[in-house]
Amino acid sequence: MNLADLNKVANAMVAPGRGILAADESSGTIKKRFDVIGVESTEDNRRDYRELLFRSKEAMSNHISGVILYDETFWQKAKDGTPLVKLIEQAGSIPGIKVDEGTQPLPGCPGELITVGLDKLAERLKKYYENGARFAKWRGVFDIGNGIPSYAAIRTNTHALARYAALCQAAQIVPIVEPEVLMDGDHSIDRCYEVTEFILKETFQELYYQRVALEGMVLKPNMAISGKKAAKRASVQEVAEKTIRMLKNTTPSAVPGIAFLSGGQSDEEATAHLDAMNRIGGLPWKLTFSYGRALQAAPQKAWSGKTENVAAAQAAFGHRARMNGLASKGEWNADLEGKKAA
């Protein structure tokens, strides 16, 4: 393991004004997105959609530091024969790959899940690295409910996250470590804070046990936020303040950066929360975004599967990327939302 090179990539992933595009939706997930816009989820349509994102020069060159790819996309070529990985590199972004293989029910823990995919991961990472991947992602998912998450689910998933991270670094790939506490449900922000804080502490304990070098990783957590069905949703400022406090209590300063997931927030909500956190200042790590829906909902709607809409979709993507790039520096405000990127 060359830690200096891992650290260089990790810092580039969280560079000021830039963040990560999560374009790693599984075939099942992107089908749901395409169903909403009336587009059939064929391999060609999935390729065409992602190609238009990667060819969005304003967004990719200025605001997107890296792209998380799904396995299918990683091996695809653009219409002109250029590998999609090369398009990302040519735009000045870093190709990454989602390496977990989804979730399965966790035995003995009703309603809870375990992320799978560690078997033969070392061999897969070697092939991804040889073909351009310089970072990877693994997601451990936790739900808040009656009696859950259980300690068994927390321990099992954080151990898997740490094993994955160690394998990545051995393959000279920067691991994005993603323990996600879902915002589904009616829980309060304080309950989310409590659960997420405990999970982050367990995550870093497991990373220590597996001898993962913190300087060569990026954390991708949820924010401390109210559940979608909560009777009272916390304000932007409360989310920012409690998320920062939670991270200061759990995340070592050796970690180069934190790239938040949007987790079902609306486009502007995810941007506003990121901006408010960066305005607090005095933080030991860089804070940026690793958004999927919060970057893609607008361009997907604009595109709707039509070639004549590609430019409009790229403009919509460029706008959201620019807004989040500003938020990563604490320079966003709601007034900018009406001014589309040129």
Adjacent-strand bridge partners of 148 = 145
Exposed, middle or buried by CB within 10 Å (0-12, 13-18, 19+), for 62? middle
Could you give the CA distance from residue 147 to residue 195 in angstroms, rounded to a whole number?
A: 11
Nearest to 261, CA basis, from 226, 224, 236, 234: 224
> How many CB atoms within 10 Å of residue 149?
23
Q: Which of 25, 51, 112, 178 is catalytic?
A: 178
Could you give the CA distance from residue 314 to residue 11 in angstroms, rounded to a whole number?
A: 26
Q: Cα-flanking dihedrals φ and ψ of residue 47, to 5°?
A: -65, -45
> How many CB atoms within 10 Å of residue 103?
16
Q: Residue 201 catalytic?
A: no
Could you give the CA distance from residue 196 to residue 236 in angstroms, rounded to a whole number?
A: 18
Nearest to 230, CA basis, from 183, 181, 188, 190: 188
Q: Residue 32 catalytic?
A: no
Could you give the CA distance from residue 51 to residue 42 in angstroms, rounded to a whole number?
A: 14
Q: Which of 137, 220, 242, 286 is catalytic?
A: 220
Could you give the CA distance from residue 240 to residue 33 in angstroms, rounded to a whole number?
A: 29
The residues that are catalytic are 178, 220
